[in-house]
Amino acid sequence: MLPFQVLASFIVIVFLTPAIEYAVVMPRAERRLSTRRWLLDVLCSMVAYGGWLTLTGSLPIATIMVLTLMTVTVVASNIKFRVLGEPLLFSDVVVARSFLQHPKFYLFSIPLTGRITLLAISIAAPVLLWIYSSAALLPHLAGAGILLLGGLLLWLRSPRTLAPTPDIERDVVLLGLPGSIIMYWRQWRASADLSSPAPLRGSPAYDQIVIIQCESFADPARLNLPADIALPVMPGLKRAYEIASHRGPLSVSGFGAYTMRSEYGVIFGQEERDLGFRRYDPFLTAERERAHAIGNRLKTIGYDSTFIHPHDLRFYNRETLMPAMGFSRLVNPGPHIPTPDMPYFGDVALGQTLVDMMHQVTTPSLFYTVTMENHGPWPTGADRQTPLEHYLRHVQNSDQMLLDLIENMSARDSRTLLIFFGDHRPSITGIVTPSPIRDVPYVAISFPLQDKAAPQTPAALTPAQLNHLIIEMSVRSSP
């Protein structure tokens, strides 16, 4: 029996798991399986097989688990690719904690069959491990040897040679999914910290700076929606375009998620191309780059900074990061009682909360606000357009918040800078899907308004360039 089990394990590691990875994972390769990709698949399978064998001492269980692990990883990556336009990344490991805290954010994207399968695996795996694990020492030692050998051979593969620059769609094809995850993680670990920025000189140019990072906010007219969809009126965005000193498309890399990429760019002012392999989740290393954070930089010239977000501040570790970024206060508005039509704290109410806070300050202040109302999942129904209709109702509330803020700031005498932008486009299955066009609107409005201000030509910016614009406008140069 043992020789057959060894042969079965060999076939799974060397042939079957690489075949599954190559044949199923997206984006698909347009050529035959390369030796490099096959070898990385084999080495990753060796590591997984060795780990399971070390743990259980059972060849059949280790064989089944390595096959299951590869299949689940590939299927999960494909779901993510269809919904968000990206395969699995090394940085997605941190999603596991978020999944446990707020599973509804993720379960909606998994088909019912996938949820049933995950439930079956989570129940069956511990049972199988308990029943079929072996106490014999030799299989455990053999597993440890396979684990160490696979890990050593994988470590000897140079990530600088295999993945010199980040291009995940290219590298999934060249290196395979497990290989790209490992090599990107190693490149991320080797990334150097940013050098400190030049200190700011001058004094506050405004009494208040209000930055609104609006969840999934996009101009419906630019979403390429079906022709039979009546586009909502967006008076707030229209008015903002009329009076903005700067406006245009904000070029973000994420689609349907990855709020932290846009947020990091606006707070830290670093282009993704300069972040290298840190670009995929820059919040993981943000604390080491705190000198670049807008809160810390503006603090040096007299601004006090507040961070406002009506949701769990543990997301992206904001409860720890934001104080290190120079935000002296963290505000979590609420409580909010969820309803099917309003699962999250509403944007209009959030705008009023922000106005109340602005009236209370007497020193130059920065308010960085992250909204929540437009966050998925959106409810489904018999009509496939139900999620879109739900989204459009709520994005109009975001537009109303923008209009309310404009009217309030116009009526005040204080010098105020309003920055409003979307963090990414929504992902709505079958209607708003990943594409190379991912821009969202941004506006910069300076109050009091100038009656004779000339209309501004739209200018495309990246989140980092928006940070530079905010810094430039916020500082009055010393005479």
pLDDT of residue 316: 85
Distance CA 474, CA 434 (A): 35
Please write the tens of the pLDDT for every residue from 174-215. Answer: 999 999 999 999 999 999 999 999 999 999 999 999 999 999
Please write the tens of the pLDDT for every residue from 288-342. Answer: 999 999 999 999 999 999 999 999 888 888 999 999 999 999 999 988 888 888 9
Please write the tens of the pLDDT for every residue from 139-154. Answer: 899 999 999 999 999 9
Q: Are 179 and 40 in contact (CB under 8 A)?
A: yes
ω before 377 within 30° of 0 (cis)? yes
Residue 422 φ/ψ, nearest 5 degrees: -90, 150
Could you write out the DSSP letters of every residue in 81-100?
Answer: HHHHS----GGGGGHHHHHH
pLDDT of residue 113: 73
Domain locations in the chain as residue ranges: 1-190, 207-476
Please write the tens of the pLDDT for every residue from 439-477. Answer: 999 999 999 988 656 567 899 999 999 999 999 999 998
Predicted TM-score (pTM) of this structure: 0.92
Residue with tokens 């910290």: 193
Please write the tens of the pLDDT for every residue from 380-390. Answer: 877 888 899 99
Would you say residue 283 has pLDDT above 60? yes
pLDDT of residue 383: 80
CATH of 207-476, one of 3.40.720.10, 3.20.20.80, 3.30.300.90, 1.20.58.100: 3.40.720.10
Residue 249 φ/ψ, nearest 5 degrees: -80, 135
pLDDT of residue 99: 65
Distance CA 418, CA 402 (A): 10
Please write the tens of the pLDDT for every residue from 102-123. Answer: 666 666 666 667 667 767 777 7
Residue 426: pLDDT band with limits 50, 70, 90: very high
Residue 374: pLDDT band with limits 50, 70, 90: very high
